[in-house]
A and B are shown apart, each in its own frame.
Chain A
Amino acid sequence: MVEHRPLRDLVAYAVLSLGVIIFAFPVYVAVIASTYDAATVVSGNLPLTPGSRMLENYYRAVFVGGSRFMNQPVGVLLANSFITAIGIAVGKILISILSAFAIVYFRFPFRRTAFWIIFVTLMLPVEVRIYPTYKIVADLHMLDTYAGLILPLIASATGTLLFRQFFMTVPDELLEASRIDGAGPLRFFWDTLLPLSMTTVAALFVIQFIYGWNQYLWPLLITTKDSMQTIVIGIKKMLSTTDELAEWQLAMATAVLAMLPPVAVVVFMQRLFVKGLVETEK
């Protein structure tokens, strides 16, 4: 073993603790701000201990909404974010597991072409083709719809590559065995391959849920009605008013609510999240 020195460990604890504090501090301040009344927050002398308005602020944010900044309660925005994030995660898993199955387990003309058509999408994030994509979504009458929020964001190859990689490691004997049992491709997929893929499916779900939840530019462009907005955009709308009018305590309550679902997913599904992340990026 490499030398073990208590001082060395002490330094490590100190550095890591400092890092943890820096990471947590902005969130701590946001939580504190969400427990005070507007006047205290705007005074510029926000205490560092919690106030007494927590329930009131969160209730107002979620169910009532502040009429001055946004005509929708945050509850609606949260629901939109959930639908979008789950739609992106489930949609991406569905289309990519099927196409990876076709590419790995069949030989057919244009197989390589199909693979490359999908593969190239890795290179261009939606941000560089926003206006033409916007126009197509508008022409298809998908502005202000969940389909418009979801479909353009699932057109990328990461999921297909992840499943392809995983299918390559599945032993050929399993396919032979299921053939001897007289199973066709769909039976094999459903009874053998899918159960084996569950860890990969879950890992991809975690990553894509976070990706979908945190989208900014795309929902900003294609939603015109406040009622279709996601929570990440909603927060900016709350603050895009003059300083004196911004209701920071509600905005901070909203920020906390917008962070909770993805952070909870990462913390509770850490193992899967790390697995999925490291493998998609390979």
Chain B
Amino acid sequence: MEKSVVFNGRLLPYLLLAPQLTITLIFFYWPASQAIRQSFLREDAFGLNSEFVGLENYQALFAQPEYYTAIGTTAVFSSLVTVLSLGVALLFATQADKNLKGGSVYKTLMIWPYAVAPAIAGVLWFFIFHPTLGTLARPLRLMGFDWNPMLNGTHALILVVMAAVWKQVAYNFLFFLAGLQAIPKSVIEAGAIDGAGPLRRFWTIIFPLLSPTTFFLLVVNIVYVFFETFGIIDAVTSGGPAGSTTTMVYKVFADGRLGGDLGSSAAQSVVLMVIVIALTAIQFRYVERKVQY
């Protein structure tokens, strides 16, 4: 869709675009191209000399057992967070869609965690599940369960998953509720007249109509889990214990900052870029197809 009436300006449109283009070129294109360039270079420890090494950084990266561990952790972490937060959000959204008295109050009470910073969410959950201070760790201990996310990798992963899900449910709830409210009531009534019960109606009518929302959320959630959860992991576990919560993004940070290995860190960044671009491309193709109807 294009405007049929426009202004004629020679200089003005460029002036209007200048601020955004300048910031984008300096802080987006320049560093993004540097990340790609650096992934083909080896620098000495002081960053004084660098030498073109082709794919060596990538080969070294994919020869590292730790990288596969990080990929595995990322896969487990992101699928757990995505599936749990989508599932819980869908459950809440279907209940909130029932035209209840005080429904808007419930809506407000459910969306506020969206505004909490991931790192803060992590610290809150760490506090209630802290092995010695935690309010909820006490009952676990009394039941004879040796809960210790500071020493046990599985416990640490459970803890960061809980914090990430807690924060993400609000976002998914909002989109599911909007999706549910967009379904015409007449369609559901038609199902009811045909004798379909509530569960049957959900699976055969509501859920298929909700699938565009679900697909959109799936992609957005995967990107969320990849990047925004960095704050949770750094604040709660710092990737530990013994690397059990080191995701791919955390490893980029740790290798670059703590390890000083910029070549490997850059190669990891490029791998992540490819993943995000692929996800975004899938999302846009899908969205475009949806628009054509």
Contacts and interface: CB of A to CB of B under 8 A. Distances in A.
Contacts of B12: 102, 106, 185-186
B232 to A, nearest CB: 9
A128 B6 contact: no
B138 interface: yes
Contacts of B115: 210, 214, 259, 262-263, 265-266
Nearest to B163: A26
Interface residues of B, number: 96
Contacts of B234: 216-217, 220, 236
Contacts, number: 282
B65 interface: no
A18 B262 CA distance: 47
Interface string B68-110: 0000000000000000000010011001101010000010111
B285 interface: no
Interface in A1-44: 1-3, 8-9, 11-13, 15-16, 19-20, 22-27, 29-30, 33, 41-42, 44
Q: Which of B7, B118, B249, B256 has most chain A Cβ within 10 Å?
A: B7
A89 interface: no
Nearest to A12: B95
Contacts of A270: 108, 111
Given A16-B92, A105-B3, A270-B111, A236 B119 contact: yes
B119 A172 contact: no
A172 B98 CA distance: 41
Nearest to B192: A2
B5 interface: yes
Interface residues of A, number: 104
B220 A128 contact: no
Nearest to B98: A12
Contact of A30 (B127, B174, B273): B127
Contacts of A102: 12-14, 16-17
Given A123-B280, A124-B32, A27 B20 contact: no
Contacts of B111: 266, 270, 274
B231 interface: yes
A281 interface: yes
A13 B100 contact: yes
A221 B28 CA distance: 17
B240 to A, nearest CB: 13
A44 B113 CA distance: 26
A121 B24 contact: yes
A29 B135 contact: yes
Contact of B5 (A44, A176, A252): A176
Contacts of B108: 267, 270
Interface string A169-204: 000100110010000111010000000000000000
Interface of B: 1, 3-10, 12-14, 16-17, 19-21, 23-32, 34-35, 38, 88, 91-92, 95-96, 98, 100, 106, 108-121, 123-125, 127-128, 132-135, 138, 166, 169-170, 174-175, 178, 185, 188-189, 192, 198, 216, 220, 223, 227, 230-231, 234-235, 249, 252-253, 256-257, 262, 265-266, 269, 272-273, 276-277, 280, 287
8 contacts: A2-B185, A19-B88, A94-B19, A105-B7, A127-B230, A130-B253, A216-B231, A235-B123
6 nearest CB pairs, A to B: A216-B231, A132-B34, A132-B31, A214-B117, A102-B16, A262-B115
Given A16-B95, A117-B21, A185-B12, 5 more contacts: A13-B100, A29-B135, A99-B16, A102-B14, A106-B9
